[in-house]
Structure 1
Amino acid sequence: MTRFEELARQQKDTEGELTLSSLPRLREALLALGVSDAAALSALRVHYQLQGLPSRFFSETALPMLSLDVQSDLPLVCQRCFAPLPQTLDLQFEFALCDEPPEALLEDEQVDWLEEDGETTIESLVEDELLMALPIAVMHEDACVSLQQSAGEKPNPFAALKQLKLDK
């Protein structure tokens, strides 16, 4: 019995805190999003709680269940003005443990399935869910302070064409 199966079947729970050093793919994703504050990256903590739930039936098949809660304050950057824009993520997931999911599980959008291969770690599971939850482009809700509106009137890009037509 793997660790996830044991947690699910015995309805136990485990919780902990991860640093960015144990989540290398998340670190790369944050760097790709423009996060360059080394102090913020080294201070990043991800808290998780993994809990076994009572088995649930899907098409007459009882499957062991897990819930995963993940919380973190990510030091993201506004993609419009490049100022720091921290984002708090508070995520909840439910997983059914199975080798091949029954059709009823595939139709349930609230529950994901987790293939128990013995190689999946808590760190990689948490990292996968955080990567999927990362916003594509974070921006301030209000206008960015560091951006200024262009002054004056913008020239019409077709003005030169009008002049060519008049010359004929």
Structure 2
Amino acid sequence: MEFKELFGNYAQVGRVKAILIRPARLEAVLFVKEVMAVQNKGLTGDRYKTSGGSRQVTLIQLEHLKAVGSFLGRGAVDPALTRRNIVVEGINLLSLKNKQFKIGEAIFEYSGECHPCSRMEENLGTGGYNAMRGHGGITAKVILSGLIKEGDNIFPSII
């Protein structure tokens, strides 16, 4: 089997477990049941909803919240502390590199890894920054507007 074929094989589809928006820079995040993803802007109500840019939406794996908590010597980390927009389960987000993917009615495109910032030390405590390294998720651009809801599936496709 060739690599191109392997890159398209998934054991299952991913699923949206939580949606969060960040109204302003240092304000608390808000959990919402659904949100509109706006083409080339981001999520309605989120502070990053501006024209252009590669960091329109951030995604993190639920499985990684458990790993980060383990590195900190406790249970899974509260997704609000990571300040990511969409928490998913059941799909390796790094496997979406060089791909577009559909969540609910919206189409996204992988735009990079979402590395931790110094706020992780503040939000998670001593060692939070290093615990998040390699587990911060990905960033994505909104290619086609659409509604996203908790429980929606994530369907990858090769660009």
TM-score where L is the length of structure 2: 0.22
- Choose between structure 1 and 2: higher helix proportion: 1
TM-score where L is the length of structure 1: 0.21
- Choose between structure 1 and 2: higher strand proportion: 2
